[in-house]
């Protein structure tokens, strides 16, 4: 599925501040390699249905094994192993007899110490991998996961590995054992060990996804592949909110455009981002923050939410809004299934100009029936003239005032808002009072 840098930013999938980052909230990887793989999954969401369903099956199965996942494989363990494998170690003797072993310890003391220290971590790593293989031995394993498990089994078929696994966990490595296993891992098994680290990193990313699904009680969506796009969700909410309000939403070719209104802070942006994030997560194979969700496979997401001006280039806010809309039209006019999210269109110009521009854009976009659109606006007036189009649904977030205080229900309702709260906020924040005292 296509998603550009702007949409990644708009949906806060990646964000330098952890509290605003979806990735950070879902990242339960234990190793840096696992984190790299998880980033890869997030940066390249699936575009084929079998990839989504295969990953869903893997995460379901791994979710059942979460409590039995080996804890001895940590990021520190892998860092020690990688350092040992990359270190220019004085060659260990192939024959680990008593004389060679003691001479190596005497003449190459620092390298011997590094080898002995590293072997404990190798043992933890190998035993952890063996435990993972055992976890899935008696179950029906998805093909993609089975491929990795088979590679682990093949790579661990060595006499030295079997001996190491059967050693007591608390037993210290003797001088001869240190030379014997050290030579094996640093020379004979070096490439295999690096391959196993890569395999575990991929498993670690899946573990993180499965853990997040279980931890946040996410639900796997039902994704289908058909020509006409649709999106249906019950109890959808935004993952980054501590106390979210959920929504029910249904979009299909006969109702593919939501005209969303409501006052600032009423919840429009959160709703738009909730839909975009749910569609994105579905394309990674993860569960989504909703009680249930059905959707078609999408070819891409495009958003127009956090447009900024560019002082260096001398480009105004309005100019960049226009450019983003232009690029959106050019991209979605390809017959593919797109989800288009637009928040507060044309804020960078005067009201009359914004109304004319917005009407023109909406009348053009509704001609495209192979995409779903959610567009929020503060220009309530243009809603009436759009009611002639049967494929536009009108939704709004209501704001009430109680004793000059704003009350937001965050409930999605049918119709067009008519809230005007700008002056109330100005008064509530005592700006009017300050001005009157001047």
Q: Tens of pLDDT along 200-252?
A: 999 999 999 999 999 999 999 999 999 999 999 999 999 999 999 999 999 99
> Is residue 79 classed exposed, middle or buried when 0-12, 13-18 and 19+ CB atoms within 10 A define those classes?
middle
Sign of CA dihedral 16, 22, 23, 24: positive
419 phi and psi angles, rounded to 5 deg: -70, 135
Is 70 exceeded by the pLDDT of residue 404? no
Count of positions (residues) in the chain: 438
Return d(Cα 238, Cα 249) in angstroms, integer: 14
Neighbours of 215 (CB within 10 A): 13
Averaged pLDDT score across all residues of the chain: 91
Query: Average pLDDT, stretch 298-319?
Result: 71
**Residue 352, pLDDT score:** 87
Is 60 exceeded by the pLDDT of residue 311? no
Is 50 exceeded by the pLDDT of residue 307? yes
**Residue 254, pLDDT score:** 93
Is 90 exceeded by the pLDDT of residue 417? no
**Residue 389, pLDDT score:** 94
Write the class of the CATH domain 222-436. Answer: alpha beta
β-strand 292-296 against 257-262: which pairing, if any? unpaired
Is 70 exceeded by the pLDDT of residue 356? yes
Q: Which two tokens stand for residue 321?
A: 């809004």
pLDDT grade, residue 313 (50/70/90)? very low
Closest CA relative to residue 416, chosen from 259, 224, 298, 302: 259
Is 70 exceeded by the pLDDT of residue 268? yes
- Which ranges in 96-155 belong to alpha helices (H)? 98-107, 109-135, 143-155
CATH number at 31-215: 1.10.1420
Min mean pLDDT across 277-281, 287-291, 357-361, 423-427 is at: 423-427
**Residue 428, pLDDT score:** 67
Q: Which two tokens stand for residue 334?
A: 């390809």
Domain-by-domain residue ranges, the chain?
31-215, 222-436
20 phi and psi angles, rounded to 5 deg: -105, 10
Query: Average pLDDT, stretch 180-201?
Result: 96
**Residue 308, pLDDT score:** 55
- Residues 6 or more apart from 296 whose CB is under 8 A from it? 223, 224, 225, 226, 228, 229, 230, 231, 337
Query: Average pLDDT, stretch 129-153?
Result: 95
Is 60 exceeded by the pLDDT of residue 399? yes
**Residue 421, pLDDT score:** 63
Is 80 exceeded by the pLDDT of residue 425? no
CA angle 369, 371, 377 (to 5 degrees): 100
State what percent of residues in the chain have pLDDT above 90: 73
Closest CA relative to residue 53, chosen from 142, 147, 163: 142
Q: Is the pLDDT higher at 174 or at 168? A: 174
Q: Is the pLDDT higher at 179 or at 347? A: 179
Q: What's the pLDDT tens digit per position in 326-345?
A: 999 999 988 899 999 999 88
Q: What's the pLDDT tens digit per position in 18-65?
A: 889 999 999 999 999 999 999 999 999 999 999 999 999 999 999 999
Cβ proximity of 304 and 375 under 8 Å? no
Q: What's the pLDDT tens digit per position in 315-327?
A: 567 888 888 899 9
């Amino acid at each position: 599925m296509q998603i550009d840098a702007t949409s990644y930013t708009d949906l806060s999938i990646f964000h330098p501040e952890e509290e605003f980052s979806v990735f950070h909230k879902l990242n339960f990887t234990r190793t840096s390699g696992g984190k790299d793989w998880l980033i890869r999954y997030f940066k390249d969401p699936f575009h084929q249905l079998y990839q989504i369903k295969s990953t869903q099956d893997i995460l379901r199965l791994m979710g059942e094994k979460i409590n039995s996942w080996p804890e001895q494989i940590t990021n520190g363990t892998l860092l020690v192993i990688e350092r040992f494998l990359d270190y220019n170690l004085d060659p260990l003797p192939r024959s680990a007899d008593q004389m060679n072993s003691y001479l190596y310890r005497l003449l190459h003391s620092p390298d011997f110490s590094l080898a002995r220290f590293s072997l404990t971590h190798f043992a933890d790593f190998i035993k952890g991998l063996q435990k993972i293989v055992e976890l899935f031995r008696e179950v029906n394993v998805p093909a993609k996961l089975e491929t990795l498990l088979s590679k682990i089994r093949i790579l661990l078929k060595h006499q030295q590995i079997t001996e190491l696994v059967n050693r007591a966990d608390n037993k210290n490595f003797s001088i001869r054992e240190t030379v014997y296993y050290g030579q094996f891992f640093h020379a004979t098994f070096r490439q295999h060990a690096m391959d196993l680290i890569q395999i575990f990193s991929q498993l670690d990313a899946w573990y993180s996804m499965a853990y997040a699904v279980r931890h946040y009680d996410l639900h796997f969506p039902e994704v289908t592949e058909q020509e006409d796009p649709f999106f249906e969700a019950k109890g959808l909410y935004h993952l980054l909110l501590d106390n979210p309000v959920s929504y029910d939403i249904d979009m299909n070719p006969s109702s593919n455009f939501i005209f969303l209104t409501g006052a600032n802070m009423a919840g429009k942006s959160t709703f738009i981002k909730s839909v975009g994030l749910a569609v994105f997560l579905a394309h990674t194979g993860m569960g989504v923050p909703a009680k249930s969700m059905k959707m078609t496979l999408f070819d891409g997401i495009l958003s127009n939410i956090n447009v900024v001006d560019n002082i260096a280039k001398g480009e105004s806010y309005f100019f960049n809004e226009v450019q983003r809309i232009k690029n959106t039209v050019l991209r979605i006019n390809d017959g593919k299934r797109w989800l288009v999210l637009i928040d507060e269109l044309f804020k960078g110009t005067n009201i009359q100009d914004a109304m004319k521009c917005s009407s023109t854009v909406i009348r053009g976009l509704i001609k495209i029936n192979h995409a779903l659109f959610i567009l929020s606006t503060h220009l309530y007036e243009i809603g009436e003239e759009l009611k002639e189009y049967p494929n536009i649904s009108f939704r709004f977030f209501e704001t009430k005032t109680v004793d000059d205080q704003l009350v937001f229900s965050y409930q999605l309702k049918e119709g067009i808002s008519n809230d005007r709260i700008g002056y109330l906020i100005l008064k509530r924040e005592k700006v009017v009072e300050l001005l009157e005292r001047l």
